[in-house]
Chain A
């Protein structure tokens, strides 16, 4: 039977904050309307005992002591170890796979061919290095490695496409069935050509960002254990329910036969929201071997096959009038995410008003691992391109780039009302004050000597709304314990602690008085932890479940106190009468009234407890050595909102992490493919550079609390602006514009050299 689908209406390109964010529900049926219940709210700010405070993670000690068991750490009785054989070639026809030697090796329990030499398209070909060819399961990791080496594969290497330029060249080989380049997509508003003609100043240039590979500390993979036709899978995933969908769908078994567990996971950043191929292979090996199998990727495989932030290229023309009002932005853009679509990004970045704008985009397909969602997909690329163009326009005008931003940044649709999701006009001056912007010199540090100092800034926006499909359960047990269950997962952000905060705040208990259980498909549905939707989804829904449970307890207690249930409050470990706090009983005494029957209440996501839309700005202060090209970021200032701050400590941690990841994008990370073979030359953490401790600058965070909005997601926003702010600071320091990332020493020296021979500004 055809699944019920919701057809989305086409819309124009509206300049709205947060529109370049997360996908709509698309093919899924619309979430059911939330069950009607009493209106729910967060407690008044003055009454909040936990929400908004700096609360340490409940599982911090377990993590620090190694007691927290990540998927990678789990060992099951009789467990085998799985390994994959990946293609050494970026593009090859598979002419034969001989598993016999591997099958005969002592200790090998299962071997699978994952390609079919007679197969069509990708079934009979490797389209990127690491493309999975075969898999084994053996009693030890070493035997599994040996068995992989015994698999004989006959490859016919084919010409590979390593770069977008190669894929787009007229004489490129036809590698992909429908061509190496996608059809062009177009978005436009206004008459760009006429607007550019009216401009007082125009900037033209080509801007680019590199491919950034996913480098989560815990690699992808899982452990699969069958019991008859039922499968339990411990998966390093950002979506336990999504993983169940993928595993069951791929294995063609009922979802009711699959349970996915993720107690702890070591980072995903978008790469663990689907594509659970290695877990499906793991399940097949486990079935074949009739034993549990663990299959976790190694670091090299992570770089090759678990996704990336695609490259971005933009040939831009942008104009500004003599009064400093932006008039037009025209961009021809392209990029590659490897052997799959999805390299798009939208420019201009939608926090600045360009009345006329046009973007024409094409994806180029190359023989490299396909892209996946990567923390704020499309945003850092678009932010870099747009913010650098803005600084160049400011230079043309001889105007402070901060002033140019203030004249053009998006503000509230209704000027008479403040829009809490569009606060850049307030935050830019706050950040400027903190970084000491008044001391900033015009482009090019006039100081003598090779060390040049500069400042730059950039803004960001995101959505971060909650999902209406979210459900939760809260139980109050007769012994006074409280159990809060929700099928979300803690991807390292502190979600387990968040659930406990909401439950404890609602029950008037200390954090130790409640137990949060997450990371299991046996718990009520919660969305994947992507798109910064988790805090809004989980907080709002858990609050409702807990209030529903607490109200049931009030109903039990009220007769004993001779009042109506609505007269009661849960506070300081007591159930008491609001207007007469001395009249009441302890929480434990109240729960004894339940007898032997616990309260179990469900909650469905409801409106009013969360919001959508964030704004933030970042400023960078850098030093650049123009003799070596080395950039040292001295300081990052960040002003960021996220609605109601639920846990200040973990919110700040999100921002620290985002900025550090943004620094990696700005200065270090770069997937390098051999231009002839398309093989990655740096698939490790030695030559694929990430920021180390000594690279991390002083980071000054101002989190703006909006206590009346309810929470909004914060995972994505802090990573967006860092690279743009650093790039603008570098140009301010050295007086030369570097229009590509990463801002590596060679890129800076090359730009300085080009300046000497013709100029970049």
Chain B
């Protein structure tokens, strides 16, 4: 199975500027990862669904290999 594009499974490898709603809601009881997620992502820096480099934001994209990624 391919890596889920829209997973909220965010790890140390992800950019610290990656944001989704759950990070502000912090429902700490829902800790189960799901492959199919109705989640929107955005960049803290741009406040949009595109990062500082002009490319889309997602857990699949916002990793250390991306040049605008910050840890």
Contact = CB atoms under 8 A, between A and B. Distances in A.
A246 interface: yes
Nearest to B58: A341
Helix, strand, loop or mixed for chain A's interface? Answer: loop
A14 interface: yes
A445 B14 CA distance: 56
A660 to B, nearest CB: 22
B42 to A, nearest CB: 5
A199 to B, nearest CB: 24
Contacts of B52: 123
Interface stretch (A175-183, A565-573, A727-735): A175-183
Interface residues of A, number: 87
Contact of B32 (A19, A27, A125): A19
Contacts of B4: 183, 185
Interface in A110-129: 119-125, 127
Interface string B48-65: 111011111110110000
Nearest to B38: A378
A9 interface: yes
A275 B42 contact: yes
Nearest to A278: B47
B30 A23 contact: yes
A22 B22 contact: yes
A241 B28 contact: no
Contacts of A177: 55-56
B57 A273 contact: no
Given A24-B32, A124-B54, A250-B46, A344 B37 contact: yes
A241 B50 contact: no
A110 B20 CA distance: 31
Contacts of A21: 27, 30
A321 interface: no
Helix, strand, loop or mixed for chain B's interface? Answer: loop
A182 B3 CA distance: 11
B30 A127 contact: no
A370 B42 CA distance: 10
A21 B42 CA distance: 19
A361 interface: yes
Interface string B19-50: 11111111111111111111111101111111
A249 B25 contact: no
A184 B21 CA distance: 22
A329 interface: no
A2 B39 CA distance: 25
A508 interface: no
Contact of B30 (A18, A239, A245): A18
A241 B48 contact: no
Given A5-B11, A27-B10, A377 B38 contact: yes
B6 A342 contact: yes
Nearest to A3: B16
A250 B27 contact: no
Contacts of B20: 23, 26, 274
Nearest to A525: B26
A208 to B, nearest CB: 16
A187 B38 CA distance: 14
A104 interface: no
Contacts of A16: 32
Contact of A119 (B5, B47, B54): B54
Contact of B22 (A10, A19, A277, A531): A531
A337 B41 CA distance: 12
B30 A183 contact: no
Given A23-B20, A183-B3, A341-B6, A359 B36 contact: yes
Contacts of B46: 250, 277
Contacts of A28: 23, 26
A33 to B, nearest CB: 11
B47 A250 contact: yes
Residue with the greatest number of chain A CB neighbours at <10 A, chosen from B6, B40, B41, B50: B40
A315 to B, nearest CB: 15
B24 A307 contact: no
Nearest to B52: A123
A646 interface: no
A378 B40 CA distance: 11
Interface string A353-365: 0000001010101
Contacts of B6: 182, 185, 341-342, 344, 363
B44 A344 contact: no
Contact of A125 (B1, B16, B26, B54): B54
A235 to B, nearest CB: 12
Contacts of B7: 185
Residue with the greatest number of chain A CB neighbours at <10 A, chosen from B5, B27, B29, B58: B27
Interface stretch (A144-152, A221-229, A464-472, A551-559): A464-472
A373 B40 contact: yes
Nearest to A125: B54
B10 A342 contact: no
A584 interface: no
Contacts of B29: 463, 465, 612
A341 B41 contact: yes
Given A8-B31, A363-B6, A531-B25, A245 B48 contact: no
Contacts of B47: 246, 250, 274-277, 280
Given A185-B6, A250-B46, A273 B24 contact: yes
B19 to A, nearest CB: 6
A363 to B, nearest CB: 6
A341 B71 contact: no
Contacts of B41: 340-342
B8 to A, nearest CB: 5
A687 interface: no
A275 B46 CA distance: 9
Given A7-B11, A7-B12, A465-B30, A530 B25 contact: yes
Contacts of B27: 21-25, 463, 465, 467, 527, 531, 533
Nearest to B18: A27
A288 B44 CA distance: 21
A121 B50 CA distance: 9
A467 B26 contact: yes
Contacts of B48: 122, 275, 277, 370
Closest 5 CB pairs of A and B: A23-B22, A121-B54, A378-B38, A340-B49, A242-B24
Given A122-B55, A463-B30, 6 more contacts: A24-B22, A27-B23, A28-B26, A123-B53, A341-B56, A531-B25
10 contacts: A5-B12, A8-B9, A23-B20, A23-B22, A27-B10, A122-B48, A123-B54, A245-B24, A250-B47, A342-B41
Interface of B: 1-12, 14, 16-42, 44-50, 52-58, 60-61, 71
Interface of A: 2-3, 5, 7-11, 13-14, 16, 18-28, 30-31, 119-125, 127, 176-178, 182-187, 239, 241-242, 245-246, 249-250, 270, 273-277, 280, 307, 310, 337, 339-346, 359, 361, 363, 365, 370-373, 377-378, 463, 465, 467-469, 527-528, 530-531, 533, 612
